[in-house]
Amino acid sequence: MIVRELKPGIHALVAIDWDRKLFDELVPLPEGTSYNAYVVVGSEKTALIDSVHPSMTGDFLAALKGLGLERVDYIVSNHAEPDHSGSIPAVLAEYPEAKVLANVKCRSLLIASHGLKPDAFTLIKDQQTVSLGDRTLRFMWVPWVHWPDTTFTYVEEDRVLFSCDFLGAHLATSDLYADDEARVERAARMYYAEIMMPYRPHVKKYVDLLAAMAIDMIGPSHGPVYRRPEFILSHYRAWAGDATRPAVVIPYLSMYESTAKMVAYLIDRLMAKGLSVQPFNVVDLDSGRFAAALVEASTVVFGSPTVLDGPHPAMAAAAYLVNALKPKTRYGGIIGSYGWGNDAMQNSLAKMLPNLAVEWFAPVVAGGVPKHEALAELDRLAEDIVRANAA
């Protein structure tokens, strides 16, 4: 782990987790991730902004020691989740003079997670400043992107913002800066979809907050540093804004090829009309790619066979994910085939999606193999989707 300088006296300590495949046993990491901490050296005081995942504490302490700091006065905890706070107890052991600066929510979470004593803390409030001498830290308490404790730390004189998880990307890279914007955009979109999308109204609010500030550089807690802040802010504005793109995402599975035939038929009809379509077989779902596809898509069509009197369990799991992620999708559809059952599947599936504020198209269900009537209904559904997307 190397220390790199962002500005004179402001250092990035990036713990790169090249090999990690899964975050929180939930989020796929196709390109690994990083845990970013920062050191801000003032003329009188020195502050460490966050720490790293506990598994990387040894390297982190060595890097910190390598900076040759005589003392650390403050450990700013922007967020208590252990991927950023996990090394704080070890840092306190090395630098016992340091006070942990955290808001009241973050303090209670850190005490619960790490057993820190209350007297290890100095509480900070929203918009409070702390002087490092010739540098000033301003703290902004910005709950729900994505925890209730989330805080931004802004170095006023240098116009550098440490944005915590917000605006981050799960991307292990030797690049300090997000200059490979196409690559970073892909990783940041997936990260936004998985972590920030459920909090879209808060995201919008904080993007507006940051747009009104003078910011030269943004150091997030995951992924490379932005020295062109408008790059990531403009993407967040588009992703969190209300506008959608005319695109159809189709989570589906099939047990005896009947639902698969219906999905393939619908895809052909939609493609023939020039619509963008992305099907995802949910039996072995890549949830990261799926979530990323939902960020701006106007339409989701679920394709499921009936199992007992509901959707296939794999579809129920996919529906749970969609409901939890709360995409801004405007239109929804349900298609599928049943065997001995009936058309109850679409009702129970729709009930699993109360957070999806969509206009539902009439469902299309077929008994067994789809025949002429079902295919005609799929033609009608395709027309409805095309018409809605043209509006």
Sites of contact with ligand FEO (CB under 6 A): 79, 81, 83-84, 146-147, 165, 221-222
Q: Which is nearer to ligand FEO, 163 or 259 (CB)?
A: 163
| Residue whose token pair is 């193999």 | 369
Q: Which is nearer to ligand FEO, 79 or 269 (CB)?
A: 79
Dist CA 290 CA 193 (whole Å): 9
Q: Which is nearer to ligand FEO, 218 or 315 (CB)?
A: 218
| Nearest distance, CB of residue 150 and ligand FEO, angstroms | 8
Residue 313: CB atoms within 10 A of its CB come to 13
| Nearest distance, CB of residue 221 and ligand FEO, angstroms | 5
Q: Which is nearer to ligand FEO, 146 or 202 (CB)?
A: 146
Dist CA 73 CA 79 (whole Å): 18
Residues in the chain: 391
CA 7 to chain centre: 28
| Nearest distance, CB of residue 182 and ligand FEO, angstroms | 23
DSSP H/E element including 267? helix 258-272
CA 262 to chain centre: 32
Q: Which is nearer to ligand FEO, 108 or 278 (CB)?
A: 108
| Nearest distance, CB of residue 53 and ligand FEO, angstroms | 9
Q: Which is nearer to ligand FEO, 81 or 377 (CB)?
A: 81
| Residue whose token pair is 């990261």 | 288
| Nearest distance, CB of residue 23 and ligand FEO, angstroms | 8
Q: Which is nearer to ligand FEO, 221 or 258 (CB)?
A: 221
Instruction: Tell me whether the omega of the peptide bond preceding residue 202 falls within 30 degrees of 0, making it cis.
Output: no
Q: Which is nearer to ligand FEO, 73 or 165 (CB)?
A: 165
Tokens of 337: 């085939």
| Nearest distance, CB of residue 135 and ligand FEO, angstroms | 25
| Nearest distance, CB of residue 153 and ligand FEO, angstroms | 15
DSSP characters over 45-83: -EEEE----GGGHHHHHHHHHHTT-S---EEE-S--SHH
3-state DSSP call for residue 269?
helix
Phi then psi dihedrals of residue 8, to 5 deg: -55, 120
The answer to whether the CB of 112 falls within 8 A of the CB of 96 is no
| Nearest distance, CB of residue 83 and ligand FEO, angstroms | 4
Per DSSP, what are the bridge partners of residue 36?
Answer: 14
Dist CA 300 CA 331 (whole Å): 6
Q: Which is nearer to ligand FEO, 82 or 310 (CB)?
A: 82
The answer to whether the CB of 195 falls within 8 A of the CB of 203 is no
| Nearest distance, CB of residue 218 and ligand FEO, angstroms | 15
Dist CA 262 CA 365 (whole Å): 9
Dist CA 273 CA 269 (whole Å): 6
DSSP H/E element including 246? strand 245-252
Q: Which is nearer to ligand FEO, 73 or 81 (CB)?
A: 81
Dist CA 238 CA 296 (whole Å): 8
Dist CA 262 CA 237 (whole Å): 36
Question: Which residue of the chain is nearest ligand FEO when measured via CB?
Answer: 81
| Nearest distance, CB of residue 353 and ligand FEO, angstroms | 26
Dist CA 199 CA 365 (whole Å): 34
